[in-house]
Structure 1
Amino acid sequence: MAHKLTKSLVDSIPNPDSGQMFYRDTELKGFGLRVGTGSKVYFAEGKVNNKTVRVTIGHHGVFTAEQARQQAKNILGMIAGGINPNDADKAKRAKSVTLQQVFDAYLKARNSLKPRTVYDYSRFMKTYFEEWQNKPLADITKDLIERKHRQIGERSEAQANLAMRFMRAIFNFAIGQYEDSEGNPIISDNPIKRLSQTRSWYRVDRRQTVIKAHELPAWFKAVNALPETSNGINRHAVKDYLLLLIFTGLRREEALGLRWEYVDLKAKTLTVPDPKNRQPHTLPLSDFLFDLLKARYEQNQGQSLFVFPGSGAKGYMDDPGKQMKKVIEASGVSFTPHDLRRTFITIAESLDISAYALKRLANHKMANDVTAGYIIGDAERLRAPMQRITDYLLAAMNA
């Protein structure tokens, strides 16, 4: 319908019972009103590259007819110049999106990230990028990245690299997520490239620390002699947790979060259903591990779903850092939970256990190994190697 759009005319137009009605202004071509069941909205429309472009101006009542007409003139001027106002507005919004907003969108899109990964990323945001959280991502330049990397590196070169790998992922996500109507990225370049172009990444050698054979007796003695704690963590739980790590090579969270439903005392196996590489990991229990877990099961008496229960929100024991420090002090052997995994793998390799069995025991991916793809992973085939590792450890510990 064609009318000169005035306040009195727009006020008099009834709302339809269903659908929408369009009223186009007779004085300004491209200016119109869309009337729905409960709304009256001004718009401007024209063609850019032979495609019709419609731009919403706003609701009648918020805008008067004359205010909307003036806005329409500005919009139609852009269209006449070959500019799609929707693209311009989208680009403006995208360029103003903040680091925190992109991070929130990233977590929502990557909803399969492990809780530990989400925790680490959130820690990076709070620890290293707090002053950037409300900064538009487009304003984070290569120079800012280079200075921030150097600043973090003064405290920890490894953390500086990790923090920038996190930022690289955020920028790559933004490049793919925020586009104009032509599909062109609003943020076209990842500023983290500067670190590669200037060879600024820190060279951080992989940790190689293990508990050496001659250190195992003192470590084992200190673990078994752990005193009772005042923070509610049972010393026997800490002892069994540390022993489980070194006798299985499990990662810290895999052991802490182990549920009884994944411990099969009849088949003498344990399973980590969702490990780091997303491939369920089943290990046979050596005689020592079977006795350890059987004793814990009998003590548990169905009280907890977890092998190492705790009073925290997760339901299982918190990382026993303080108790580990006591072991270090008593034994003189410095170690981390991952050092126990490295110790397990190193001992397995020293016993000439086959490469395929070793990878299965450690649950390392073999995606690029064609031969490995034909080998069926059966826990029973790992039972003998597992027992050999256990026997070596017990002998070295003078257990």
Structure 2
Amino acid sequence: MEATESPRRTHMLTRKTVTKISVDQLQPGATIWDTTLPGFGVRARTGAKTYFVKIRIGGRQKWITLGKHGPLTPEIARREAFRILGDVVAGNDPLAAKKLKQIESLTAFDRLAEDYVKRVAMKQNRSWKETERIFKRYAIPAWKNRPVSEITRADVARLLDRIEDKNGLVMADRVLAQIRRLFNWHATRDDKFISPIVQGMARVRPREGPRTRILSDDELRALWKATEDTQPTLFGPLVRLLLLTAQRRDEVACASWSEIVGNEWIIPAERYKSKRANTVPLTATATALFGALLKSGPYCFTTDGENPFSGFSKAKNALDRKMLATLKEETATRGGSPDDVKLEPWVLHDLRRTARSLMSRAGVSSDVAERVLGHAINGIAGVYDRHDYKNEKAEALRKLSWLVESIIRSHETKPQLRVVA
């Protein structure tokens, strides 16, 4: 339905009932005005016959195109014309309503989320696929093609409640963070839009200061044993590589086979937080962990052959349960009380901090350890020292691997998979 020009006076005008026969017989340049519904008609031009309805809004006549003959029958076109004329009698402007509907379709949540991922997340966020996954799994099923201007604070709260109940507090906050960014972005492009999200909607209290958690030797032994047999099976190797390479969670989880070159893992700049490529030398153990993975797509860690692994919450919870069971078992073996054993909360990123601390413990110099982590070196050293430190990083990771082996083998409970450098 759109506004169109009036039939030209040079056209041959006929008044009769618009029927399929009369429309089929209509010649180019001719127009039929329907005698049963004033204002409704059809006109023929070379190659097409178009239904229309004439209305009067604010003292001005407007012609609205209903559609072409073929896709539309005379009966359907007449019903649509009758509806439009009824809107006019009721004091409504069909063209304004159509324009509003078009605007709403452009700001429908699913369409807006897709636009945000394309225009913002893909350009600014290394883990944009996780942003896309969160929208598709949690937010779009809830709001679909609903205009964002109609999404209320209560709607957001109800969605977060459902996610918290089913997937936990942390996931609820991750969804909230992505929705907040989307709404804030849309607010910069729409004069009238006001985000319904306000401060205080997060489910987990913000951390005070930087995290300092590292895993103890006992916890590392429990971790290694718990990752011998995990579900999904690729989560165990993923966790071990987090420790043995000291890289970030998404850098490991999104690793592709094209990045593994011999005994090196070359993480491209677009995937790295510092926006610089990072070459990670692989020890024999790390190489073996990658080599044992099933190649079923571009990603090293994938469950469907198309997307990188993303089921962290469920897998991490299962890992925690196994670690706690191992810690209790070892405590009982030593004659202690298993009921007194607790596993302090930790996140996968704590393995990166643990690896950094272990490198210092193994005698790796601070500047080399920082380069293993891919941290930018500030000051004059960062400007003038252009050495790639490849050999030094390889030696640092070997020392890390040796120390992990020493820790794991220092107790009676020894995992079957021996760590080698």
What is the TM-score of this pair, normalised by structure 2? 0.59
In the TM superposition, what whole-angstrom CA distance separates every residue of 1:136-176 from its partner, at most 9, and x where no partner exists? 64443345556776897899665554433333345456668
Which of residues 370, 384, 398 in structure 1 aligns to 2:392? Answer: 384
Alpha-carbon spacing, 1:163–1:336, altered in 2? closer, same or farther (3 Å): closer
Shift of 1:61: 0.8
| Residue number in structure 2 paired with 1:204 | 206
Q: CA deviation at 1:205?
A: 1.0
Q: Structure 1 residue 62 and structure 2 residue 66: aligned?
A: no
Residue matched to 1:181: none
Matched, 1:124 2:138: yes
Q: Is contact 1:344–1:389 with CA below 8 Å preserved after alignment?
A: no
In the alignment, the residues of structure 2 paired with residue 114 and residue 68 of structure 1 have an alpha-carbon distance, to the nearest angstrom, of: 44
1:91 alignment counterpart: 100
Residue 233 (str. 1) matches residue 202 (str. 2): no
1:245 offset after TM fit, Å?
A: 0.9
Q: Who is 2:265 aligned against?
A: 270
User: For the structure 1 residues 244 and 307, does the alpha-carbon distance in structure 2 shift closer, same or farther, using more than 3 Å as the test?
Assistant: farther
Structure 2 residue 165 is matched with structure 1 residue 165: no
* 1:44 pairs with 2:37: no
Is residue 248 from structure 1 mapped to residue 245 from structure 2 by the alignment? yes
Q: Give the distance between the partners of 1:376 and 1:398, measured in 2 at CA.
A: 37
The alpha-carbon deviation at position 275 of structure 1 amounts to 2.5
Tell me the matched-pair count. Answer: 358
Classify 1:303/1:143 alpha carbon distance in 2 versus 1 (closer, same or farther; 3 Å): closer
Distance in structure 2 (CA, Å) of the matches to 1:134 and 1:257: 30
SS in 1 for 2:251: helix
How far apart are the structure 2 equivalents of 1:159 and 1:340? 20
AA aligned to 1:292 is T
Is the counterpart of residue 33 in structure 1 residue 42 in structure 2?
yes
Deviations 1:118-137 (A, max 9, x none): 333334338xx84x568664
Aligned partners of 1:54 and 1:173: how far apart in 2?
38
- Contact 1:259 1:307 (C-alpha < 8 Å) held by counterparts: yes
2:355 corresponding residue in structure 1: 344
Separation in structure 2 between the aligned mates of residue 44 and residue 362 of structure 1, nearest angstrom? 70
Alpha-carbon offset, residue 344 of structure 1: 3.4
- The separation in 2 between residues aligned to 1:291 and 1:166, in whole angstroms, is 39
Q: Which residue of 1 aligns with 2:109?
A: 102
Q: Are 1:189 and 2:203 an aligned pair?
A: no
1:72: how far off?
A: 6.7
Letter in 2 for 1:62: E
Partner AA of 2:152 in structure 1: T
Structure 1 gaps of 5+ residues are 178-183
Q: 1:93 to 1:295 in 2, by over 3 A?
A: closer
Equivalent position of 1:290 in the other structure? 283
**Quick check: 1:41–1:60 contact (8 Å CA) kept in 2?**
no
CA contact (8 A) 1:25 1:31 kept: yes
Match for 2:389: what amino acid? Answer: R
Instruction: Output the TM-score relative to the length of structure 1.
Output: 0.61
Shift of 1:340: 0.8
Tell me by how many angstroms 1:208 deviates: 1.7
Match of 1:271, SS? strand
Q: Would you say the 8 A contact 1:247–1:344 is kept in 2?
A: yes
Cα-to-partner distance string for 1:305-331 (whole Å, 9 max, x where unaligned): 789677754598886644564345335
| Deviation of the 1:41 alpha carbon | 1.2
Distance 1:219 1:149 in 2: 32
Aligned residue type for 1:205: R
